[in-house]
Amino acid sequence: METKTKFSLWYVVIAIWGILALQNYIASQYAPRVVPYSEFLSALKDDRVVEVVITQGRIAGTMKVTEEGQSKEIPFTTFRVDSDLSEELSKHNIRFRGQPESTFLRDLLSWVLPAFIFFGLWFFLMKRLNPGAGMMSFGKNKAKVYAEKEIDTRFEDVAGADEAKAELVEIVDYLKEPGRYQHLGGRMPKGVLLVGPPGTGKTLLARAVAGEASVPFFTISGSEFVEMFVGVGAARVRELFHQAREKAPCIIFIDELDAIGKARGALTIGGHDEREQTLNQLLVEMDGFDPRVGVVILAATNRPETLDPALLRAGRFDRQVLVDRPDVIGREAILKIHVKKVKLGEQVDLKVIAQKTPGFSGADLANVINEAALLAARKNKAAIDMQDLDEAVDRIIAGLEKKNRLINPKEKEIVAYHETGHALVAAFTPGADKVHKISIIPRGIAALGYTQQLPTEDRYLMTRGELLGKIDVLLGGRMAEDIIFGEVSTGAHNDLQRATDIARAMVSEYGMGTTLGLTTYPRQNRPMFLSPEQMPMAGKEYSEATAARLDEEVKEIVTERAAGVRELLSQYRALLEETAAELLKKEVLDSEEFYRMVEAHRTGGKP
């Protein structure tokens, strides 16, 4: 196993200290002795000077001295004072010569050598902080290249995206047997764009294509093309395609294509010329690309609506493959793949977990298994059981459980009635999702309790009555507080916001209102695969009078549903109080306990 050493600034300090110590030692051992000029004249008169080298202002040479009873020759140096020195030297038959003083060695040691040392340290630190960076590496391609043997991902490792895999099988067949397609005169798409929400396995699918085809795999993020220097991104695009042609057949995978592929000329804040030049170069490379070379370009994005139309035209990314969130069958298949790496208890039913996780992506499901494994290890269990998986799902949906948070009894009672109100309205509203769990244990940042509902099946369409039922359930907590305590708290803030959003969407987008009829005014530039919380603020394409009518009808819908919910909870007030008391006692009620109490109240028996 390769060991990696960590760089420390102390290494530099020790190295500098060592160089200074060595320099002092050499200077003390080999440097000539500096003698006064008078001592030099005395030695000259006593015939103890052996030879000298004369520069413009300094005299250096060798003289005889007697130290500790022994005579020896030592190097000396002194500053020149006497201008008639040559006459004295001649009288005593001493060899002497003049020599112009050279500043090369002095300059080398004074500033050239330190400059090289500091440059070397700077280069070393830059390499440590940013491997692969350097003065000449700005235009180099930053794509990671995986050889055929390095990719062990196959289609069998990808679950929940059967339609997307079927679309990509043709790419694999073409890379394996290009002659079969070329013989008929057909050509494969130059580019395949994988679109879908985050975490659905777009990158995993691209690796599976390369693994199935057994070809080299170039992978790079869109943001890695763009630098602060104009022209660098375009140079990297050129080098990437040049390397791909040399290793053909191969696959180029560009992740987060929207980082460089956004529509040009859009009124975006902080326009970037470098990004546009990079996009232009990518368009040129794809347009002049010969499909017979055997290079397939894959790209992934969750913002296809922002891409430049030139990227999506025929001859470039002319095939789009949707990688959507998996349905209940796909979620179960994904869970089966991820549980292969963990120890699972015999009583675990992955089908139940798949039903409890509607809307989860593949990455979310992988996180569920990992969280369950961590919880089981924390409790010193031999295997993961259903309790660990249930707790992992709750943790991902609602946040970390905070049992140690101190809540005063009054607030806890308000939370209990609030959550019971949600649950009872869901239980008595036709078409509402079934209540799975009621909890008053705080979770996450601000959740003091929650009511978890699970759909019996995946839904892709909703009727007007079902949407109104969702509004009723959301208003149940607020109405329960008002009925029991005669006042309301701030705990219904998020419920009211979501209820208002549903009512507004019914009127302005779904044509389910009475004021506008079938006319719709949807939000502008709605992201295709992002949640409403991630959507940017959009303007409106209607008049102030229309906006006032919209607001009025939304208010009427919410007010009317609130009145109906109040009437329902008032009718079942005894059950509301009984369930809230049981919730205060246990803090958590599961589906069986809750519906047993509801059924007992209907039949007049005891739970």
What value does the mean pLDDT take over residues 90-113?
60
Angle CA 478–482–488, to nearest 5 = 65
pLDDT number for residue 244: 84
pLDDT above 70 covers a percentage of the chain that reads: 76
Q: Is 454 exposed, middle or buried (0-12, 13-18, 19+ CB in 10 A)?
A: middle
The CATH classification number of 328-397 equals 1.10.8.60
Q: pLDDT at residue 184 above 80?
A: no
3 falls in which pLDDT band (50, 70, 90)? very low
- Catalytic site positions: 419
- Count of positions (residues) in the chain: 607
What value does the mean pLDDT take over residues 467-479?
92
Binding site annotation covers 422? yes
Lowest-confidence pick of 61-75, 280-294, 452-466 = 280-294
| Higher per-residue pLDDT: 423 or 270 | 423
361 falls in which pLDDT band (50, 70, 90)? confident
pLDDT number for residue 500: 93
Binding site annotation covers 203? yes
pLDDT number for residue 571: 92
Q: Model's pTM, two decimal places?
A: 0.67
Mean pLDDT of the chain: 79
Q: How far is CA 559 from CA 463, 499, 503, 516, in A?
A: 20, 11, 11, 19
Binding site annotation covers 202? yes
Binding site annotation covers 196? yes
Q: What is the pLDDT of residues 368-406, one digit of tens each?
A: 999 999 989 988 988 999 888 988 888 887 776 665 566
Q: What is the DSSP letter of 53?
A: E
557 falls in which pLDDT band (50, 70, 90)? very high
Lowest-confidence pick of 88-102, 192-206, 409-423, 566-580 = 88-102
Yes or no: is domain 32-101 CATH 3.30.720.210? yes
Lowest-confidence pick of 134-138, 141-145, 579-583 = 134-138
Among 392, 382, 489, 506, which Cα is nearest to 443's? 392
Contacts of 488 (CB under 8 A, 6+ apart): 478, 481, 482
Is 60:52 a contact under the CB 8 Å cutoff?
yes
Q: pLDDT at residue 110 above 80?
A: no
pLDDT number for residue 527: 62
pLDDT number for residue 226: 72
Q: pLDDT at residue 492 above 50?
A: yes
Q: What is the DSSP letter of 517?
A: T
Extract the tokens encoding 405.
């948070």
Q: pLDDT at residue 476 above 90?
A: yes
Is 284:233 a contact under the CB 8 Å cutoff?
no
What value does the mean pLDDT take over residues 307-330?
85
Binding site annotation covers 197? yes
Q: pLDDT at residue 462 above 70?
A: yes
CATH number of 409-603, picked from 1.20.58.760, 3.40.47.40, 3.30.70.20, 1.10.10.10: 1.20.58.760
| Higher per-residue pLDDT: 109 or 226 | 226
Q: What is the pLDDT of residues 495-550, one digit of tens each?
A: 999 999 999 989 888 888 887 778 877 665 556 666 555 554 455 667 788 888 88
Q: What is the pLDDT of residues 225-281, one digit of tens each?
A: 776 556 677 888 888 888 888 887 888 888 888 888 888 765 444 445 777 888 888
| Helix extents (H) in 177-231 | 178-183, 202-213
Binding site annotation covers 200? yes
Binding site annotation covers 418? yes
The label of the residue with tokens 């409403």 reads 532
Asked whether this chain's domains 144-266+273-322 and 328-397 adopt the same fold, the reply is no
Q: How far is CA 233 from CA 75, 108, 268, 277, 507, in A?
A: 62, 40, 20, 7, 46
Angle CA 420–359–377, to nearest 5 = 80
Q: pLDDT at residue 61 above 80?
A: yes
pLDDT number for residue 558: 93
Extract the tokens encoding 192.
């395949």
pLDDT above 90 covers a percentage of the chain that reads: 14
pLDDT number for residue 576: 92
CATH topology for 144-266+273-322 is: Rossmann fold (3.40.50)
Q: What is the pLDDT of residues 19-53, one digit of tens each?
A: 767 766 666 666 677 777 777 777 888 888 888 88
Among 74, 89, 81, 37, which Cα is nearest to 56's? 81
Distance CA 372, CA 291 (A): 47
Q: pLDDT at residue 603 above 80?
A: no
Residue ranges covered by each domain of the chain: 32-101, 144-266+273-322, 328-397, 409-603
Q: What is the pLDDT of residues 186-216, one digit of tens each?
A: 677 778 899 988 888 888 888 888 888 888 8
pLDDT number for residue 493: 87
222 falls in which pLDDT band (50, 70, 90)? confident
Extract the tokens encoding 598.
């509801």
Distance CA 230, CA 276 (A): 10
Q: How many CB atoms sit inside 10 A of residue 51's CB?
A: 13
